[in-house]
Structure 1
């Protein structure tokens, strides 16, 4: 029976047509593609209303007129791409694809992070703390936000067109992005793993240009507060804390990038405007909202609040990191004593320890981390809590997507698993 099933599976087309639509299909994809870019600019303007930017809608579309913004951004993106290719790292394989192959990935987050820290340290010494690059980033924050939206649009369009133009082997398309609806497939992502030679566009965008730009934006806010506002005399404790907490999170993600190879974004989602915009705009220009607010608002926390917020972050990180590590170790056969369900597909569903408490216990840890960041602004403004609210919706949506896919994949075994682990994210609550 198992052999007959495998033969039947192999007879299926490599790139089946998409029949199930997410985000409301065509109209949902169109709405999000228009609304989210406007929202990112709007919310940044609400927190820093004196930001510099041109109100001429054609200014940024003309690279000759806006070269002073386009060139620095392209140098940032292109420079990181070159470093990603030439810097040393270890080779790892991704998940098994539908054509029974695995893609090679170069994992070099350590060397990239070390180089960035070295450059920042040297620039601080050479400029005696002036750091003109951080000043530029702070002063042109909204303009760079707009440029990143346009670049994400161009990159998504390039990847969409590239999926139709190939020589030899047909590219593997994302199961959710092959509907023949141009707007929807462009938004979701048609090709699963768009590459230029050995350069993987999706993995690069997940951790390099957006995540590291988020770090630099936070540092630009800290620099502005310390150098410009307080004249090298003091720094806002809340602003310093958000830089430390988010800086730790960013470097932890970059240094442990191999964990992405099995995650939904890399393993199953195509690379379209949804991920392009999310990686290049939404992450750096909305996750930094706490730092942007604190750079111009003297909100001091004090020792007790700092300890509370740091403890909440530590708790969230402990749950998130230890749960993910436990699942990774289990998949590698390092934890054979943990209880699991043997599925008809030959794989096992872990239902013990962390993963006996809820189906996505790591999501709960990740959300607690997001809440700790928002609390650095305490309750002065609701705008900075946007991230935690958005993240809750994102995690809920991901849980629903994962549940639907696992139900189709495992059938009756998934029903048995849900009886053993009934809670989705928060134990005894949801």
Structure 2
């Protein structure tokens, strides 16, 4: 067993190996606290030392630590809110109706595939209804999540470290008896903690933790934060501005897209090949909902008269979002429905919204020597990573709607473009190794990477 778990990752470790991932595990939470403190205590501008002397820097960190202790202490109330939500979503995962499908064949499981119950769309709308009832009945005001943003963020960060540890140790010590067996370990404790020990840890037969964390935690919370911003603005000013409506609309589109297309996530690279460690757990639990939401935090902290943009500017940002979302939704649908067709997974859900050209009729593709396929029609005919391009411009629109007075909403698109470039680099390396000459032919037929006829 131990012999089979240590892989050639010893020879190639991503992210700079153990030193690089250690820096990220320290740096990610620091950046989150820094952005939050800048938003709350410095009017959306970057916090800076009064001087760059030793005493000035020490004073800066003392003040910064005081901000965290004062406004982001992980209170019992925040723990109760966060984990009540997580547990409730877990119950929805295994009880609400949905469609059943199977993942890709897994080599380390003798080419067997795992079953999945895909009901995130039911979980999404059930959660919306329950939160609306709780808010209107004053049992739990949705604006509480804005008031408790700092403590909730701390709870999410700490929880991500704890869950990663439990899954890592559980996989090493108990394997399939508890979660999942170790898979492709590098032999370095810190690096494996970051990347994960197991591929598909589960509680029972159906609650796949990777799938659960992928959709229901990050994107649902992000949407609820934007809704809380709209409610807070209506309560304070008697109306909701076009900018806050935009943020609600944008976050709804993204959360709903992930939920309605959950079965299309099942055969993706993340589910079949990316191990479930700190990298995925942290960003799903904490990073995404509590850093991608700075556009909503910016708007929630200001009188809407402070950002009354022109009609033409608002129209431009709305149009950018809608056009990019259409390509994003239909492009991902084309790819994943094609993949499902190839693997004989023909279930197609008719969830809202159903957009034109989501399924390619008679798709062209390369049948590779290794048995795989490379799609050469639909949106991918024009650019192999066009879905990344429009995903980035969607993220940029979330920041553009806030204007240019604060840099904090622009953290997400700036960070996201770095993530996408790194992801594309990884994809190309893996595709070259996996498909060989067939990948070269694929690049010849589909020569553009991000922007059709340009790059």
Q: TM class by shorter-chain length?
A: 0.7 to 0.9
Alpha-carbon separation, structure 1, partners of 2:395 and 2:312: 19
CA-CA distance at 1:236 after TM superposition: 2.5
Instruction: Assess, with a 3 A threshold, how the Cα gap between structure 1 residues 146 and 204 changes in structure 2: closer, same or farther.
Output: same
Q: Following superposition of structure 1 onto structure 2, how do residues 134-153 of structure 1 map, counting pairs within 5 Å?
A: 134-153=142-161
Greater Cα offset, 209-218 or 163-172: 163-172
Residue correspondence of structure 1 range 197-276 to structure 2 within 5 A: 197-198=204-205, 199-227=207-235, 229-230=236-237, 233-276=238-281
Q: Which moved more, 1:366-375 or 1:320-329?
A: 320-329
CA contact (8 A) 2:265 2:271 kept: yes
Cα 1:294–1:273 change in 2 (3 A) is same
Instruction: Tell me how far apart the structure 2 counterparts of residues 361 and 54 of structure 1 sit (CA, whole Å).
Output: 42
Q: Deviations over 1:71-95 (max 9, x none)?
A: 2222111121122122222211011
Aligned to 1:86: 95
Contact 1:15 1:172 (8 Å CA) reproduced: no
How far, CA to CA, are the matches of 1:363 and 1:174 in structure 2? 29
TM-score (norm 1): 0.88
Evaluate the alpha carbon distance shift between residue 82 and residue 60 of structure 1 in structure 2; reply closer, same or farther with a 3 A threshold: farther
Give 1:400 deviation, angstroms. Answer: 0.9
Distance in 1, Cα, partners of 2:200 & 2:130 = 31
Q: Which position in structure 2 is the counterpart of 1:424?
A: 449
Superposed, 1:9-48 pairs within 5 Å as 13=4, 16-18=7-9, 19-48=11-40
Q: Write the distance in 2 (CA, Å) between the matches of 1:382 and 1:60.
A: 21
Aligned residue number for residue 380 of structure 1: 405
Identify the range of structure 1 (85-94 vs 96-105) with the bigger mean alpha-carbon deviation.
Answer: 85-94
Deviates more, 1:137-146 or 1:337-346: 337-346
Matched, 1:122 2:127: no
* Distance 1:29-1:356 versus aligned 2 partners, 3 A rule: same
Alignment correspondent of 2:55 = none
Q: What CA RMSD, in Å, does the superposition of the two structures yield over aligned residues? A: 2.6
Q: 1:338 to 1:87 in 2, by over 3 A?
A: closer
Instruction: Identify which range, 13-22 or 116-125, moves more after superposition.
Output: 13-22
Q: Is the 8 A contact 1:174 1:268 kept in 2?
A: no
* CA positional deviation for 1:57: 7.7
Secondary structure at the aligned position of 1:190 is classed as coil
| 1:247-293 deviation line (CA, Å, top 9, x unaligned) | 12212211211121122221211111111110011111011110100
Measure how far apart 1:136 and its partner are.
Answer: 2.2
Q: Deviations 1:101-124 (Å, cap 9, x if unpaired)?
A: 101111112321221122133234
Q: Does 1:303 align with 2:311?
A: yes
Could you give the per-residue CA deviations for residues 296-340 of structure 1, whole angstroms, max 9, x where no partner exists? 223123432222111111111121122222223433167574432
Q: In structure 2, what is the Cα distance between the partners aligned to 1:43 and 1:57?
A: 11
In the alignment, which of 177, 180, 183 is matched to residue 187 of structure 2? 180
Aligned mates of 1:381, 1:195 — CA distance in 2 = 42
2:429 equivalent to 1:404: yes
In structure 2, the CA distance between the partners of 1:242 and 1:171, relative to structure 1 (3 Å rule), is closer
The partner residue of 1:70 within 56, 69, 79 is 79
Deviation at 1:164, TM superposition (A): 1.0
**Match for 1:285 among 290, 294, 297?**
290
> For the structure 1 residues 50 and 141, does the alpha-carbon distance in structure 2 shift closer, same or farther, using more than 3 Å as the test?
farther
Listed as ranges, the gaps of 5+ residues in structure 2 are: 44-63, 343-358
Residue 106 of structure 1 aligns to a residue whose secondary structure is: strand
TM-score normalised by the chain length of structure 2: 0.83
Question: Secondary structure of 2:100's partner?
Answer: strand
* Number of residues of Structure 1 aligned to a counterpart in Structure 2: 408
C-alpha contact 2:219 2:254 (8 A) present in aligned 1: no
